[in-house]
Amino acid sequence: MAEELESKTLFTIPVFGGIPIAESVAVTWVIMAILVILSLILVRNLKVENPGKKQLLLESGVSFLQDFFVGILGEEGKRYVPYLMSTVIFIGIANIAGVFGFTPPTKDMNVTIALSLMSIILIEYAGFHKRGLKGFLKSFAEPVPIMLPINILELAIRPTSLCMRLFGNVLGSFVVMKLLEFICPAILPIPFSLYFDFFDGFIQAYVFVFLTSLFIKEAIE
């Protein structure tokens, strides 16, 4: 377990005395490159009339995600949907990276902390954008002034809960799969891989963005 918690250095860039690049960072770069390449390929030759199967499938996926998040946030929260869509796609792919021989980046707490901080910054920005500076500061004393300390604590509690939930579940799934591969490397890990690597991985991505959506909705109400 201690070994799995370590953030391994994959290589070092020989500048400024050496910049260590963690394995999670390198895998994240690979995922980003894949997403960029797929985006360039999938959006080529789009048609308004008589779209092909590839375009229809792409539009169906985008429409599904957009309708899902708009259904939570409402029309007023549409500006935040692109971030949520990008995040759920990235986390979903990152969580199933183990199937392709990579170590899931979300197994590294530094990655989940970064994702949580980005989400909480967006949540607080949403409240600030909706209410203005005066209303944003006043919201910390709602519904009654005595709630001020608790509301301030939520600024740390929310990203911590998002981070630890994602990190803990991904790390737990990764460790269980490694144990199964050690006990019975031939057949046993296959059905469990379908659950831990695919089903559970996508569920964790869904939970992360769903909670972020709810927090944004609360901030803009």
What lies within 8 Å, CB to CB, of 20 at 6+ separation is 9, 12
User: Taking the complete model, does pTM exceed 0.85, yes or no?
Assistant: no
Reported as a single tens digit per residue, the pLDDT across 87-140 is 999 988 888 887 777 888 888 888 888 888 898 888 888 888 888 888 777 777
Which H helix or E strand runs over 28?
helix 23-42
Reported as a single tens digit per residue, the pLDDT across 181-219 is 677 665 655 666 666 667 777 888 888 888 889 888 888
Rounded to whole angstroms, the Cα distance separating 3 from 15 reads 28
* Tokens describing residue 1: 């377990």
Rounded to whole angstroms, the Cα distance separating 153 from 203 reads 27
